[in-house]
A and B are shown apart, each in its own frame.
Chain A
């Protein structure tokens, strides 16, 4: 064993303790707020363009306590979760079928690859025409933005299942259905969960865009309203809330995955 610990602060792929990890992570936020304070309190950036951290906190409190911002947050979360769940329910089975059966893949892959590049936000005007400016339209934006991505990534994951495991299952007498249910699905499940976690993050960006246009509630709606009033404190607060919710949902997703797939960590 070569011990370099006394010579170097870090080495490629060396691990850190969980305490260090938290400390490093917090350090970045401290640095970020410090820079922001320096720019705003120091007068380097005009108040009109960027509120200082204190104003932001005050505005945030005002939003939550007096302007019913919690309702907006709730609306946004419901839209993301709703649209995303709808997409997942359709995309995961389709992706599994595509990954497992090459003819299905040959049939759907070209279209899905094409549709994947269609920007969800470009559909908003069309969706408003079709579905009005109600909830359905918002759900559809998120749905369109997520569904093709999930299909394709799940298909690739399932298609990349270790062949030797599939062969082992066949020699143990597995039927084709057994191969899907007891090899392809369990071996891809952690990867599929990761895909869902990733795409859920993207869904957050779609929902805000959908709410910027033709909406009367939600975080995105609040941000457009604040823009009209030049209230950068509220805008920044809204953005930070989105980030925090994203962080939280990511954390929960990770913990859930770790609980669901203990064999990965063993």
Chain B
């Protein structure tokens, strides 16, 4: 059983070069239960990455705390896998070695390591590319490898920061189906950040809408669409209704950003 608690977490970036301090995140509360798939939706610059980085332990909150199964998060660790907004595969390792990185760090022997890695390579549809370097992969393939790399470590919670943000629409839709398929089959606790409304609904069991800077949780919407979901669900009335609601929520936030800019 996995429970992630975000309690009154805020983040202010200190002033620099005469600029005023940046309040990136207002005190935020969020509880994510076992095998939840929570998507965080918000306009650019609202502190989504900041929140995710704090959960990952890569950044420290200015106030509040994050606990995973009762233990406070004080730094990064293998129990919280992360897929980044940018491409972060190790360029000197092949696809298989990238995926096995965490296992190797834990001292898993090579044979076993490769078995696990190859299983994940099949899951994300990269069979035949085991020995390719990251440079030889397309953006979508790189992010699939990054997802496999995080999953191979068997983390308690998977954190994804706009992993498909840089991909074209068709690829993005395929990747969403792939990720959801993995989640439906294996069950995982997932926190997924995006600024794409359809993506947030399609993937999430719960959508958290964040407000424009300074970021805070503005609304929380349950997505009661049945699983397994296929891309066809995106045209059902229920989906469209949810989408309209979220569009309204996000629009007001985006307008605020535009006015301040």
Instruction: List chain A positions with a Cβ less than 8 A from chain B.
Output: 164-165, 167-175, 178, 182-183, 186-187, 189, 261-264, 266
Least distance between A260 CB and chain B CB atoms (Å): 10
Alpha-carbon separation in the docked complex, A172 to B153 (Å): 7
A175: B residues at CB distance < 8 A:
105
B105: A residues at CB distance < 8 A:
169, 172-175, 178, 182
Please state if A169 and B101 are interface contacts (CB–CB under 8 Å): yes
Alpha-carbon separation in the docked complex, A174 to B93 (Å): 15
Give 1 or 0 for each of B64-79: 1 = CB within 8 Å of chain A CB: 0000000000011110
Please state if B81 and A263 are interface contacts (CB–CB under 8 Å): no
Please state if A167 and B133 are interface contacts (CB–CB under 8 Å): no
Partner of B135, one of A172, A173, A266: A266
Residues facing A in B128-168 (CB within 8 A) are 132-136, 149-150, 153, 159
Judge whether B80 is part of the interface by a CB distance below 8 angstroms.
yes
Least distance between B83 CB and chain A CB atoms (Å): 9
Judge whether B210 is part of the interface by a CB distance below 8 angstroms.
no
Partner of A187, one of B56, B78, B92, B102: B92
Please state if B58 and A186 are interface contacts (CB–CB under 8 Å): no
Known: A171-B56, A178-B105, A186-B90. A263 touches B77 (CB 8 A): no
Please state if B58 and A173 are interface contacts (CB–CB under 8 Å): no
Please state if A266 and B77 are interface contacts (CB–CB under 8 Å): no
Interface residues on B, range: 20 to 34
Least distance between B77 CB and chain A CB atoms (Å): 6
Alpha-carbon separation in the docked complex, A88 to B132 (Å): 32
Alpha-carbon separation in the docked complex, A164 to B150 (Å): 15
15 A-B pairs in the complex with CB atoms less than 8 angstroms apart: A164-B88, A165-B88, A165-B90, A169-B90, A172-B81, A172-B101, A172-B105, A173-B77, A173-B153, A174-B101, A174-B102, A183-B90, A186-B93, A187-B90, A266-B135
A170: B residues at CB distance < 8 A:
57-58, 75-76
Please state if B84 and A164 are interface contacts (CB–CB under 8 Å): yes
Alpha-carbon separation in the docked complex, A189 to B136 (Å): 20
Judge whether B203 is part of the interface by a CB distance below 8 angstroms.
no
Known: A173-B78, A263-B133. A167 touches B153 (CB 8 A): no
Alpha-carbon separation in the docked complex, A261 to B102 (Å): 22
Least distance between A168 CB and chain B CB atoms (Å): 4
Nearest-CB residue, chain A, relative to B77: A173
A174: B residues at CB distance < 8 A:
101-102, 105
Judge whether B175 is part of the interface by a CB distance below 8 angstroms.
no
Give 1 or 0 for each of B42-68: 1 = CB within 8 Å of chain A CB: 000000000000001110000000000
Residues facing A in B11-58 (CB within 8 A) are 56-58
Please state if A263 and B58 are interface contacts (CB–CB under 8 Å): no
B80: A residues at CB distance < 8 A:
171
Least distance between A165 CB and chain B CB atoms (Å): 6
Judge whether B91 is part of the interface by a CB distance below 8 angstroms.
yes
Judge whether B193 is part of the interface by a CB distance below 8 angstroms.
no
Please state if A172 and B78 are interface contacts (CB–CB under 8 Å): yes
Please state if A167 and B135 are interface contacts (CB–CB under 8 Å): no
Please state if B102 and A263 are interface contacts (CB–CB under 8 Å): no
A186: B residues at CB distance < 8 A:
90, 92-93
Alpha-carbon separation in the docked complex, A189 to B93 (Å): 13
Judge whether B106 is part of the interface by a CB distance below 8 angstroms.
yes
Alpha-carbon separation in the docked complex, A164 to B88 (Å): 6
B104: A residues at CB distance < 8 A:
182
Judge whether B82 is part of the interface by a CB distance below 8 angstroms.
yes
Nearest-CB residue, chain B, relative to A262: B133
Least distance between A264 CB and chain B CB atoms (Å): 8
B91: A residues at CB distance < 8 A:
187, 263-264
Partner of B58, one of A167, A172, A266: A167
B78: A residues at CB distance < 8 A:
171-173
Alpha-carbon separation in the docked complex, A186 to B84 (Å): 21
Partner of B92, one of A169, A171, A178, A263: A263
Partner of B149, one of A172, A178, A182, A263: A172
Least distance between A204 CB and chain B CB atoms (Å): 30
Judge whether B222 is part of the interface by a CB distance below 8 angstroms.
no
Least distance between A186 CB and chain B CB atoms (Å): 5
B153: A residues at CB distance < 8 A:
172-173
Nearest-CB residue, chain B, relative to A178: B105
Nearest-CB residue, chain B, relative to A183: B90
Least distance between A58 CB and chain B CB atoms (Å): 51
Alpha-carbon separation in the docked complex, A167 to B80 (Å): 12
Nearest-CB residue, chain B, relative to A173: B78
Please state if B84 and A182 are interface contacts (CB–CB under 8 Å): no
Nearest-CB residue, chain B, relative to A169: B101
Alpha-carbon separation in the docked complex, A174 to B103 (Å): 10
Least distance between B68 CB and chain A CB atoms (Å): 13
B132: A residues at CB distance < 8 A:
266
